[in-house]
Structure 1
Amino acid sequence: SMTPLFPDRSMGGAQKQLRKVATFLAQQGHSITILCTARVDTNAPFSWPGGAQVLPVLPFKQPFPEPYATPAYNIATAIQEVGEHLRHADRFYSHDGGLIFPYIYQHIPTIISLRSVIFSETLQAGFLFQGDALILISQHARDYYQFTAGRFFPGYADRIRVIYNGFDWDRFKPTPPDRIRALFPENLLEHPLLLYPHRPEAAKGIWETLDVVDLLVHQHDLKDVRVLVPRWIDESLDPEIRKFYEAVRTTIAERNLADNFVFHDWIPDDLMPEYYSLGAVTLNLGSYVETFGNVPYESMGCGTRAILARVGPHRELLPEGLVDRVEFGDASQAATIAARIIRNGERTPAPTLRYLHQHFDIQQMVTSYAKVILQTPKRAPMPYEHRPISKTTRFRLAPWCYLAPMDIYHDFRGEYLDDAALHKVVTAHPEGFTIPQAQEYLVAEDMVMARYREGYLVIL
C-alpha cells in the first residue's frame, strides 16, 4: 500500500477494504505481509486481526498526495524493499497500484487493484500495467481504464475483474450513539445533523455543502441544523490543509453560518456506525470522481439517507428510485430534498437496504478477492498495439460523461457542455459512430476530433 496504514483508523475507504481482504486471507491460514509507506505517526510494525502483519517501511513522500515527489534514492529503497520480500512470496497483490514498475513483479503472479481515477501514480500504474489480473471496483472505473490504457493492449480487458466494495452490514446498521456522545457537546445531538464525512478537498463537496446549508437556514427556515465536518488526519502535517480549513471557516462566517458548522476530530473506524446513525442526512455533493465511494452506502446502511451528486460511479451503483440524486451544482434541489428528509424524519427505505445487502456484501467481496489473488496464473506480458485514426474509426460518448437533459456532463471537467449537435449524434448512435455519420448531424470532422481530445468522446 502506498498509503500509510494504522492499527485502528483508516485514511480512506481503500484502506478499509484492504484491511478486510487481508484479515480474511490471514484467517484462512495464509501468511500475509503488507508493506506500506512510513511516516512519523505510523512507523512501527503491527498486526491486524487474524495475524496480517503490516510493515511501514516504504520511504515515499508524505503527506498525501504525490508519493513520488521524493529523491530517487527513496524510490530505489522502496523497490529494493519490495524485491526482498517478493523473493520469498508466492503472490504479489498491490492494493492501490501505486508501485508502478512492472519489472518488479515479472517473476511472480501479480494482482493489481487501482483505487483511483485521478491520482497520477495510479494512472501511471494503469498505463504501465503488466500484471496478471486487474481488480477494479465499479463499472465506471473498468470503462475508464479500458477506454484509456486498455485501448493500446488487446489483452487488457481480459485481465480486468470488477469486484464491488462490500460492507459488513452487521456493523453498518442503525446503532445507538453510546460511545460517540463523549466526542460532542451533549446539546449538539438535539439538532438535526448533516454529515460531511470527507477529506478536505474542494472537489469533495464542501462548497456545495455550504451552499445547501445556506439555503436550509435562510430559505427553508431550518436554522437549527448542524453540519459535522471531520478534521483530516494530516491537518497537523500539512499547512495547505490548514489554509483550506481557514478559507472554509471564513466563508462560513461571511454567510452567517458559524453556529451551523461543527469541526471535530477524525472518527475512528469502530465508531463510524454510531457516527452515521447520528445523522439526519449525509451529503455527497462534490465533483470528485470516486472509483466507488463508500460513504453514502455505509451511511444508508446505518439508516441515514444520502444525497448524491450524479457524478462518476454514483450514477451506476444504485438503481434510480433507491437513492436521492441531483445534478452536480444543483444546490436548490439538494436543499429541497434535505429539508424534506429532515422535516419528515425519513430513514433509508427498506428496498434500498435490501439492494445494498444483496449487492455489496462483505463476504462476497473478500471471497472474490481471495479467488482472484490465490488462483490467477502467471501470464505473458501484453503486447502494445497502435491503431491509426481514420474515417472508419468509431467514436462514442466517453463513459465518464453522461447526457443530461440538454447538456453533456463531463466528470473530470466538472462542467456541462452545451453542444446540441453532439448531443443528437451520441443519442442517435449510443453504440458508436464514424466521422461521416457525425457529419450527417452537421458535426464537422475537426469538431469530432476536438471533442475527442477534450475527453467527451472515446475511440472504440
Structure 2
Amino acid sequence: MKIACLSLVEIFPDYVLGGSQNILRKIILGLRENNINVRLFSPKNDNPKSFIGDVEIENKLSLKGSFPSPFEIPLYELQSLQEELDKISSWADRLYFHGDGWFMRNEFVDSTTISGIHDLVYQESVTSVMFSESDKIIVPSNYLRDTIKSSLSNEKFNQTNISVIKNSIDNFSKSISINDSISNDNLILLFPHRPDIRKGLNNAIKISLEFIHTKNWNSVTLKVPKFNENLDKDEKNSSYIDQELKNEFISSGGNILFHDWIPLNQMSDYYKSGDLTLCPGNFIESFGLVPLESLSNGTPAICSSVGAFREFDGFDGLKVIPYGDTKSFVKKGLELLSSKDEILAGRERVILNYDLNSMIDHYIEVFTNPSFKENYKSNTNQFYSKIDGKNYDLSPWCFINNNKIYHDYKGWLDSFENKFKIIDKEIFFVDNISQKALDEKILISS
C-alpha cells in the first residue's frame, strides 16, 4: 500500500506548530515502522532537504504555505499544483489530507481519499466536511464527531463515513518525581500554547495573579513560549498581551518568563519543569493534547470547559473549569497541587488509554479498509427538552453550568441566565424563550 500525505502548511523536521502537526509526525513514523510506503508533501519553500524518520518532506506543492487562504496564489501556480497532484494521485493507493482543506476534489475523483479533520474552527476544515467528499473522515474525539452529526442533516451525515481515532501521548518520561508544590517558595505555571489570543494568555496572567493573592508562595512564575516568526504559518496568531494586567502581575511579585519555542524532543523536560499547566482559553479544542501530555509527565492541568476539553471532566489530575472563572481555576489548581496520588493515577490512565501503537494500528485499519463504516453511538447521558411535543437534545457545543449556558461558538449566553431549570436531565425554559433556544442552536433535533 502506498500512501501520500498532503499538508496545506509547511512541515518542519524538529518543530511542530500545534497538536495537529505533532500527530501527523507520529502517523508518518508509525506507518514506516509497519513497512508501509509513505510520502509526505507540503508547500514549496527554500528550506534545505529534510526528513521525518526516513521520509523526505517533499516541498513540492504550489501553495501559500500558511493560513488562512492557503490557495491564495497566482493562477499559473494553481496550474502547477494541478500537475503535481496528478503525479501524486497516479503514484498513491491512498491520499491522506491531514487537516484537509483541499477543495480540488475533481483532481482526486479516481483516488481513495481520507480526510483527517483536527478542528471545526478554520474555514478549510469546516468546508471540507460540508462540501468535499471523502471515502473516510478521521476525527480525534467524540466531541468532533458529535458536532458534525448535530450540524449536518440526517441524510448528509448518513452519507459521511467517520471514524474516531484518539490521538496518542508518548512524549513522557518513564520515571518522574512529584514534589509538594504547596511548600515550594516559587510556583511555576506553564502556558505551552501558540500565540492565538483564543488560547487564553491574558486569562493565564489573571490566574497567575490570583495565585499570588493566595500568599502561598514567595513568587509565581508564568512560562510562556515566544513564537518564532519564521515558524509562524497562521496569520490569525497574535501575541497581544493586556499590558495593564501584565504590569499588575509583575508589580505584585509575579514573573513572566518568555522562552524560545520548545523543540519536540524537549517537551517532556519542559512539562516536568512546571507545577501546573494552564489551558484557560476559549479556542474550541478538538482533542486536548496539552493537558494530557502535561499530566503524563507528572504535571497536572486545569482547562476551560470548552470543546473537547469537556471530555476530561472527572479525569484524575485534570480539572475542567467554566470559561473565565478565575477563582475556580485557582481553587481547583490548589486542590491538584496537593493531590499527588490523583496526579499519579491520572498519569497512568493517560499512558494506558492513549497508546501510540493503538493509534497507529487504528490508522492502518482505516487506510487499509476505508469503506468500513463504524457504528455511531449517541450520547445517552444527555440533557434534553420537549417543545410542542417534540424532543430536542442539548447541542454538543453547549455546556450548562448552574443557571447559565455556555456556547462554544458564542460564549456565555447572558439572555438565558436564570431562564431555565433542569429536572432529571430535562430542561424547562421559562418566559417563552424555547424558540430562542432553537434559534441559537442550543437545542438540536433528537
TM range (shorter): 0.7 to 0.9
Aligned counterpart, 2:43: 37
Higher strand share: 2
Letter in 2 for 1:167: I
**Which of 181, 185, 191 is residue 196 of structure 1 equivalent to?**
191
**Which of 347, 356, 363 is residue 362 of structure 1 equivalent to?**
356
**Which of 56, 61, 67 is residue 58 of structure 1 equivalent to?**
61
In structure 2, what is the Cα distance between the partners aligned to 1:52 and 1:150?
40
Using the size of structure 2 for normalisation, the TM-score is 0.84
CA drift of 1:62 comes to 4.5
Whether 1:214 aligns to 2:198 is no
**Which of 258, 265, 268 is residue 263 of structure 1 equivalent to?**
258
What per-residue deviation string (whole Å, max 9, x for no partner) do you get for residues 165-201 of structure 1?
A: 11226x455569xxxxxxxxxxxx9843111000112
Aligned residue runs from structure 1 range 222-371, under 5 A: 222-234=217-229, 244-245=238-239, 247-248=241-242, 251-257=245-251, 260-317=255-312, 319-342=314-337, 344=338, 346=340, 349-371=343-365
Aligned counterpart, 2:105: 102
CA spacing shift, 1:206–1:442, aligned 2, 3 Å? closer
Structure 1 stretches lacking a partner, 5+ long: 177-188, 380-389, 431-437
- Asked if structure 2 preserves the Cα contact closer than 8 Å seen for 1:101 and 1:128, the reply is no
In structure 1, what is the Cα distance between the partners aligned to 2:355 and 2:234?
39
CA spacing shift, 1:215–1:281, aligned 2, 3 Å? same
Whether 1:12 aligns to 2:18 is yes
In structure 1, what is the Cα distance between the partners aligned to 2:208 and 2:20?
29
CA drift of 1:424 comes to 3.8
What per-residue deviation string (whole Å, max 9, x for no partner) do you get for residues 94-151 of structure 1?
A: 1111213332322122111101110111101110231111111001100111222354
- Asked if structure 2 preserves the Cα contact closer than 8 Å seen for 1:126 and 1:149, the reply is no
In structure 1, what is the Cα distance between the partners aligned to 2:424 and 2:75?
49
CA spacing shift, 1:54–1:230, aligned 2, 3 Å? same
Aligned counterpart, 1:162: 164
CA drift of 1:288 comes to 0.9
Q: Number of residues paired by the alignment?
A: 420
Mean Cα displacement is larger for which, 293-302 or 450-459? 450-459
**Which of 104, 107, 128 is residue 125 of structure 1 equivalent to?**
128
Mean Cα displacement is larger for which, 399-408 or 319-328? 319-328
| Percent of aligned positions that are identical | 24
Letter in 2 for 1:369: Y
CA drift of 1:82 comes to 2.2
Aligned residue runs from structure 1 range 414-429, under 5 A: 414-419=411-416, 423-424=420-421, 429=426
Aligned counterpart, 1:401: 398
Aligned counterpart, 1:181: none
Whether 1:454 aligns to 2:436 is no
In structure 1, what is the Cα distance between the partners aligned to 2:100 and 2:247?
41
CA spacing shift, 1:259–1:328, aligned 2, 3 Å? closer
Whether 1:412 aligns to 2:409 is yes
- Asked if structure 1 preserves the Cα contact closer than 8 Å seen for 2:196 and 2:239, the reply is no
Letter in 2 for 1:140: Y
In structure 2, what is the Cα distance between the partners aligned to 1:237 and 1:308?
24
CA drift of 1:87 comes to 1.2
Aligned counterpart, 1:83: 86
CA drift of 1:253 comes to 2.1
CA drift of 1:328 comes to 1.0
CA spacing shift, 1:363–1:250, aligned 2, 3 Å? same
CA spacing shift, 1:448–1:215, aligned 2, 3 Å? same
In structure 1, what is the Cα distance between the partners aligned to 2:78 and 2:295?
41
CA drift of 1:2 comes to 1.4
Higher helix share: 1
Aligned counterpart, 1:434: none
- SS of aligned partner of 1:65: coil
- Asked if structure 2 preserves the Cα contact closer than 8 Å seen for 1:408 and 1:423, the reply is no
In structure 1, what is the Cα distance between the partners aligned to 2:218 and 2:79?
56
CA drift of 1:45 comes to 3.8
Structure 2 stretches lacking a partner, 5+ long: 1-6, 178-183, 374-386
CA drift of 1:401 comes to 0.4
What is the RMSD of the two structures over their aligned residues, measured on CA atoms? 3.2
- SS of aligned partner of 1:455: coil
CA drift of 1:229 comes to 0.3
- Asked if structure 2 preserves the Cα contact closer than 8 Å seen for 1:174 and 1:303, the reply is no
CA drift of 1:373 comes to 1.0
CA drift of 1:458 comes to 2.3
CA drift of 1:443 comes to 6.4
CA drift of 1:350 comes to 2.8
